[in-house]
Amino acid sequence: MKDSRILVLTGPGKGKTTSAFGMALRALGHGGKVAVVQFIKHDGSYGEVVALRQFPNAEVVCSGQGFTGRARDEESRERHASAARDGWRVARQRLEDNSMGTVILDEIFYPLNYGFIPVAEVVGALKRIAAGKVVVLTGRDAPEEIVAVADTVSRIECVKHAFQQGTKAQSNVEF
């Protein structure tokens, strides 16, 4: 019986990371250990990161260099790729750690889709997770190979967003 779970939160709408962090809180509430590896965010000042780091059984690693799509020159792309590979090394360790009940790979689909991390390598790691482990992968444009191996896939759609009316990112909502 496979009681591990792989969940994908994807799509263009708002709330993928927020949903994943909610699952982290649920796991912590049940006494579990949680690791979050963020592949885009880099400074750890986001409210959800600050809050989660207050729990002794939670770890958050911010391995990103900011939004990868803005990396125009080769040097900048290599910095993003290197940061993604560093994050993936940490993520693999947490995926293999049997004491870690929940592992969240936040915004991992950008480095996968840019070719910074091989999709097949992530799929292989997901297929080897231990019984009882929960893995949540978030981001836009989930690769089909990840969707195929997942147990649950939710696509978050954007019906309307304040950004479309010119509203800037706001504390307690976007960060």
**Predicted pLDDT at 69:** 61
**Predicted pLDDT at 76:** 83
Is the pLDDT reported for residue 67 higher than 70? Answer: no
The tokens of 143 are what? 């690769």
DSSP secondary structure, the chain, as one string: ----EEEEEESSSS-HHHHHHHHHHHHHHTT--EEEEESS--S--SHHHHHHTTSTTEEEEE---S-GGG--SHHHHHHHHHHHHHHHHHHHHHHH-TT--EEEEETTHHHHHTTSS-HHHHHHHHHTPPTT-EEEEE-SS--HHHHHH-SEEEE---S--GGGGTPPP-TTTT-
Which one is predicted more confidently, 141 or 1?
141
Q: How far is CA 68 from the centre of its chain?
A: 14
Identify the CA nearest to 39 among candidates 100, 82, 4: 82
Is the pLDDT reported for residue 61 higher than 50? Answer: yes
- Domains of the chain by range and CATH? 13-165 (3.40.50.300)
**Predicted pLDDT at 1:** 39
Identify the CA nearest to 12 among candidates 166, 174, 154: 154
pLDDT tens-place string over residues 5-57: 999 999 999 999 999 999 999 999 999 999 999 998 778 788 899 999 999 99
The Cα–Cα gap between 74 and 9 comes to 30
Mean pLDDT over 72-87 rounds to 89
pLDDT tens-place string over residues 116-174: 999 999 999 999 999 999 999 999 999 999 999 999 999 999 899 887 788 888 887 87
**Predicted pLDDT at 114:** 93
